[in-house]
Amino acid sequence: MSEYQGAKKMTEPTIYPGTVDPKVIVALDFPDADAALHLARALDAGQCRVKVGKELFTRAGPVLVEKLQQLGFDVFLDLKYHDIPNTTAQACRAAAELGVWMVNVHALGGRRMMEAAREAVDKTVHRPLLIAVTILTSLDADELHEVGLSGSPEDNVLRLACLARSSGLDGVVCSPWEVAALRKTVASDFRLVTPGVRPAGTMADDQKRITTPEDAIRLGASYLVVGRPVTRAGNPLVALANINATIN
């Protein structure tokens, strides 16, 4: 049991009665609400969740999140908060009050920031899952050293995942190539959320270290963030169903 779990009364995230637990989170990487809603209406909220990131949220805001939720989707609000503990906590609380299913912060914000975020969402009626970004996969070892982080990217990912865990967070975002090593270190209820997933035979696009959905789940991923293989498919619902068929 982590220090945090030992010290505080834990609340569990809300599980809505009758809902299943779709593993695929479709990344709505669109520039505006109309395009995002058009795709969402072509999907099935019973088969996936959706992710709203910085560009879409900055353009379309909480109204879009509410519309997606009205369509029945659980929303992962991927805004990667990183600020002083009070500011981050209040942002996470606002996200929770918006009703999102999952929200994230940067683990590099430190223990006090993550604990404050956890305490803030614990006080809300529908607590979202609170997860951390460890090291951005865009950073290589030289860039990490330049900002003062020694060790390999993998060492830093493991250390920050453990810090997130002991600060009361529910999981981390990680590359599918990091899943196996992380699973050896963290318990099965610690969510590993992995982008960089490509069904066999589809294009890698700009992703470098990819894994198939079935391999990512087999290695221990909890949820898969999938964008273009679904959003750019001729029939997004069929593409999604095919992914689900390989992992169920």
- 57 burial (CB, 10 Å; 0-12 / 13-18 / 19+) is middle
- 235 burial (CB, 10 Å; 0-12 / 13-18 / 19+) is exposed
Token pair, residue 103, equals 């929200």
Q: Is 225 in the site for ligand C5P (CB under 6 A)?
A: yes
Distance CA 169, CA 163 (A): 9
Q: How far is the CB of 122 from ligand C5P (least distance, A)?
A: 26
Q: Which is nearest to 94 in space by CA: 62, 129, 46?
A: 62
> Which one of 27, 116, 160, 164 is in contact with ligand C5P (CB under 6 A)?
27
- Please give the torsion angle defined by the CA atoms of residues 232, 235, 241 and 242, in that order, rounded to the nearest 10 degrees: -70
Q: Is 140 in the site for ligand C5P (CB under 6 A)?
A: no
Q: How far is the CB of 1 from ligand C5P (least distance, A)?
A: 29
Token pair, residue 213, equals 């959905």
Binding mask 74-113 for ligand C5P (x = CB under 6 A): ----------------------------------------
Q: Reply yes or no on whether 54 is catalytic.
A: no
Q: Is 153 in the site for ligand C5P (CB under 6 A)?
A: no
Segment near ligand C5P (CB under 6 A), from 91-99, 116-124, 214-222, 225-233?
225-233
> Which one of 166, 207, 242, 244 is in contact with ligand C5P (CB under 6 A)?
207
Segment near ligand C5P (CB under 6 A), from 3-11, 113-121, 146-154, 221-229?
221-229
Kindly state the DSSP code that residue 127 receives in the 8-state scheme: P
Which of 54, 80, 184, 208 is catalytic? The answer is 80
Q: Is 205 in the site for ligand C5P (CB under 6 A)?
A: yes
Segment near ligand C5P (CB under 6 A), from 103-111, 122-130, 222-230, 237-245?
222-230
Q: Which is nearest to 97 in space by CA: 126, 117, 68?
A: 126
Kindly state the DSSP code that residue 167 receives in the 8-state scheme: T
Instruction: Give me Rg for the CA atoms of the chain.
Output: 17
> Which one of 88, 104, 137, 202 is in contact with ligand C5P (CB under 6 A)?
137
CB of 119 or CB of 181, closer to ligand C5P: 181
**Which residues have CB under 8 Å from 64's CB, separation 6+?**
33, 36, 37, 52, 56, 57
Segment near ligand C5P (CB under 6 A), from 7-15, 119-127, 181-189, 219-227?
219-227
Query: Which residues form the catalytic set?
Result: 80
Provide the binding-site residues for ligand C5P, judged by CB under 6 A.
27, 29, 53, 137, 173, 195-196, 205, 207, 225-228
